[in-house]
Structure 1
Amino acid sequence: MDDLPFLLGIGAAVVLVSVLAVRVSTRVGLPSLLIYLGIGVLLGESGLGIRFDDAGLTQALGVAALVLILADGGLSTRWNTVRPALGLGIALSTVAVAVSIGVTGLALWALLGLDLRVAFLWGAVLSSTDAAAVFSVLRNLGLSGRLVGSLELESGLNDAPVFLAVVLLSSTTALSWTDPLLVVYELLVGGLLGAALGRVGALGLRRAALPATGLYPLATLAVCILAFASGQLLHASGLLATYVAALVLGNSTLPHREGSRSFAEGLGWLAQIGLFVLLGLYVSPERLTDSVVPALIAGAVLLFAARPLSVAAASIGFRVPWREQIFLSWAGLRGAVPIVLALVPLTSGLPGARALVDAVFVLVVVLVLVQGTTLPFVARKLGLAGDSRVEEIEVDAAPLDTLRADLLQMTVPIGSRMHGVYVRELRLPEGSGLSLVVRNGTSFTPQGESRIQEGDQLLVVTTETARDAAEERLRSVDRSGRLARWRGDTGGTPNLRSGERGTPPRDGGGPGTMGR
């Protein structure tokens, strides 16, 4: 108890500094994970002297954090954004993973002289991409819907098969021909279980009459965590069950859905901060010098051979242009997941596992610095970046349960084509209407001849059944103006290379998407 105030104070200070670091990292164009890792190193034995070397506890806390991060990612993923990229996203998280493991393993076996099984273990650990690292760099690049959707799906889905591969390769038992069938079973059952629990959870939450609004976010997140626990108990993929359950819940009609998403987003940020700081605290900087050369060799193999070949293999049959394939290859950033996965063989007592952890830590930092600083440049050179100066309309929703309606609040951004549009030209669907406009601190009830201006805050009341159509119409007018329908913009995620704007990527939970 005497140490409790000190520990709570340190924890609060770390969270506050980490929250402020998000803004700093956005300005300089680097993922905030580097700052979080740096905070952990400063708190560790080489800084303030806090010694923490419990690999088992680090792995357990890391997996728990990944569950919360996947739940946040699934709840915030818009189905109409990822649906056009569903096939490519699944291929990137399965076919690309297998190719990456094979290419990386064989190359490191030849270049570093590793045992073949250990070399494939290195390939498996390094084959998982990180959503937080990717989207903190991609924000406001204005990429096409397929690129954003495929990267988002890949980062949410590939953790499950990679984790299974790492567990199999970390085992001391001989590999069997039945192991691939076991992986298929675990992924299939995990996905079906997550979908079933997501549907049942959504139905139960709609019918439940909970006494307090704050209970709905707790119940929603509990369903996602239950999906992980159920998957693990059934010897299926709990990580995949978590993401799929959250994806189903996030795209279902739920009471206080926006509040649930905001709650999960906050916990997702806390999990990311805690995970990266914990990993920085665990790593000993004195050991990292011996891992620089192996890490650089592994990084070169991954960056210039394994990732491009795996993307090319996954793109077969999807007609992905070579420019997009190059960008997908360069956008495969690594984050906390490979470091957590590297702890699995360490806790299993595999020889040489400590060197793997240190090399992966060095490699993550190097790849984030190399790829993270150059991704915007690569996107522009390939002609894939759209207008990054204008953000799409943001919408917050407050449910009106007794009326079975929602109140949507929007701010018209600078550069929006909604500027100058008459209210009557919005043509909102039946069951929805613009009820109030706040301009320069003054509110008024709009008429049909009222014109919308940049910076206006709009309040739209809509029934539950008309909500999706109202949001799609507002998006289309924001992007294409009063003639949105004539231009073929129906509110979905457009291809930005034609000059339109889409939903900006998330930095593990940042603004820029329309709430639902």
Structure 2
Amino acid sequence: MTLPELYMALLVGGAVLLASIAAARAAHRIGLPSLLLFLAVGVIVGEDVIGVRFDDAEQAQALANAALAIILVEGGLTTRWSSVRPVVAPAGVLATLGVGISVAVTAAGVHWLLGLEWHLALLLGAIVSSTDAAATFAVLRSLPLPRKLTGLVEAESGFNDAPTIILVTVFTTATADLPHPGHIVASVVYQLVVGGLMGLAVGRIGVAALRRIALPATGLYPLATVGFGIIAFAAAGVVDASGIIAAYLAGVVLGNAKLPHRAATRSFAEGAGWLAQIGLFVTLGLLVDPSELPSAALPAAVAGLILLLAARPVSVFLCLLPFRMSWREQVFISWAGLRGAVPIVLATYPVVAGVDGAGNLLGIVFVLVVLFTLLQGPALPWVARWVGLSGAGVVRDAQVETAPLDVLDAELLTVSVPPGSRLHGVSVLELRLPSPTVVTLVVRDGTTLVPDGDTVLRTGDELLLITSRDMREAAERRLRAVGRRGRLARWLGEHGDAEAAETAGR
């Protein structure tokens, strides 16, 4: 690539990124899932509209898998283990047995109603059986729902990608006879168990390392944290285990540990997750040929209705029978099975493998995701209210988290009271610090105390102050003034200018 070509590629890439960010803002304001507008950006940039040509399904698959790894790491980092732990068992059943039931019901439906031969019917059923982690996290975390219910749906969406990918891979490679069910079960168990163990192991190694190693810059902690998640994904893939489950579980372990700069890490991971989603959906939008989509509308609608009204409810009902969940919760969980990027990515597997009819499957899956995201996503708050799960009796915990002060537009100041300073003997109230500056903590003789206005400062005290960024300089000047001339500094003409100290020193 020549230098002018590089500049042009960066120009197009930057423009697409900014257009996608604007699309995300627009989607939020009108209540649509962002993924739809990201896909639209990809279709518009493609060769049928603006003219960027991209039809390499193998490259799209590779890029999509890398993006999915980042999305799953981010999902794990932002998942609260306290919410997921009580529902690991039902989520695991939904993500394994539920996927199998959903595949069977969907395949039977499209075979009988659309006339697809069994191989393609099973492929389509496997491709669309996975719920989307990114869409689920984005929608559910904005709704006032019981924590147990939210944790169950989130955990299922994080776990079920791996079994789905395994089934799609098996059906893609089985071009003649389908493998024995025992072989499929053994493959699923191996990939889940080994991938899960590797994710947990890498996550624990990351926690131990980040607690003991002092990095030279704050910004390196988020990079290292996400890096451990990516290592878990890649290491599991090397041994033919599930990188998806490894990345998610590594993120859960790292995200729930008491690590330095947790807030900065989560902010970075969220930004990386957004970038991965944008890249993923735009790439998939580029891959699809818009002229072929109208012919896929009817089969997509039929397959989607089978999935929404039969396959998903049946799998949820059968899998949750042992867990005594109410019909209201089952109805909501059935509707909350949102589809997103994963089915479109999985639809590229048979295309890359050269399976007959795979091109038609890609168009059907693309239209199905768009149609049913438009249907399910915006209707989810209404469904939650209809079944009586939204808001009623839901108590949300106060959000307690460490945060970098620059996010709050604030500054943290530390002040020492050295021998000879006129700060000695001055009360906190007499400091008369500019609003909104406040003394939050005093460290004295190795102990800490929370001061009030009557607390008198002493030589050797260490003070922690919080102030706004705009008032930092004024607060520093006032502290210098009182340190030089005492509580009456202003009346004595002392304003704490730094230049005055330099002049006095000479």
- Shorter chain as denominator, the TM-score bin is 0.7 to 0.9
1:19 to 18, 21, 39: 21
Partner AA of 1:194 in structure 2? G
Q: What residue is the counterpart of 1:158 in the other structure? A: 160
Partner AA of 1:63 in structure 2? N
Contact 2:144 2:394 survives alignment (8 Å): no
Deviations 1:176-229 (Å, cap 9, x if unpaired)? 232211211111111011111111121112112322222222222221111111
**Structure-1-length-normalised TM-score:** 0.76
1:199 aligns with 2:204: yes
Partner AA of 1:329 in structure 2? S
Deviations 1:359-412 (Å, cap 9, x if unpaired)? 00000010011112211111111111117999865555258xxxxxxx89999x
CA shift for structure 1 position 460: 11
1:345 to 345, 350, 354: 350
1:178 aligns with 2:183: yes
Q: What residue is the counterpart of 2:219 in the other structure? A: 214
CA shift for structure 1 position 16: 2.1
Partner AA of 1:28 in structure 2? I
Distance 1:165 1:102 in 2: 12
Compared CA separation, residues 147 and 210, structure 1 to 2 (3 A): same
Q: What residue is the counterpart of 2:6 in the other structure? A: 4
Task: Map 1:307-456 to 2 at 5 A.
Answer: 307-386=312-391, 393-397=398-402, 442-445=436-439
Q: What residue is the counterpart of 2:48 in the other structure? A: 46
Q: How well do the aligned residues superpose, as a CA RMSD in angstroms?
A: 2.7
Partner AA of 1:442 in structure 2? P
Contact 1:156 1:243 survives alignment (8 Å): yes
* Structure having greater relative contact order (Cα 8 Å, sep ≥ 6): 1
Q: Which runs of 5+ in 1 are unaligned?
A: 400-406, 412-439, 451-458, 462-516
CA shift for structure 1 position 13: 2.2
1:269 to 264, 271, 274: 274
Contact 1:26 1:136 survives alignment (8 Å): no
Distance 2:408 2:319 in 1: 39
Distance 1:181 1:158 in 2: 16
CA shift for structure 1 position 448: 9.3
Contact 2:235 2:243 survives alignment (8 Å): yes
1:78 to 53, 77, 80: 80
Identity across aligned pairs (percent)?
51
Contact 2:312 2:337 survives alignment (8 Å): yes
Stretches (4+) displaced over 4 A? 387-396, 407-411, 445-450
Compared CA separation, residues 408 and 9, structure 1 to 2 (3 A): closer
Q: What residue is the counterpart of 2:286 in the other structure? A: 281
Deviations 1:3-34 (Å, cap 9, x if unpaired)? 22222222222222322333322222211001
Distance 2:197 2:176 in 1: 29
Partner AA of 2:307 in structure 1? L
Contact 2:222 2:266 survives alignment (8 Å): yes
CA shift for structure 1 position 444: 3.4
**What is the aligned length?**
418
Q: What residue is the counterpart of 1:33 in the other structure? A: 35
Partner AA of 2:436 in structure 1? T
Partner AA of 1:266 in structure 2? G
Deviates more, 1:5-14 or 1:299-308: 5-14
Q: Which runs of 5+ in 2 are unaligned?
A: 410-433, 441-449, 454-463, 467-506
Distance 1:389 1:311 in 2: 23
Distance 1:441 1:368 in 2: 49
CA shift for structure 1 position 335: 0.4
**Structure-2-length-normalised TM-score:** 0.78
Q: What residue is the counterpart of 1:68 in the other structure? A: 70
Contact 2:162 2:245 survives alignment (8 Å): yes
**Greater Rg, structure 1 or structure 2?**
2
CA shift for structure 1 position 165: 0.5
1:134 aligns with 2:136: yes
Compared CA separation, residues 37 and 409, structure 1 to 2 (3 A): closer
Distance 2:186 2:276 in 1: 33
2:304 to 299, 304, 314: 299
Partner AA of 1:58 in structure 2? A
Q: What residue is the counterpart of 2:117 in the other structure? A: 115
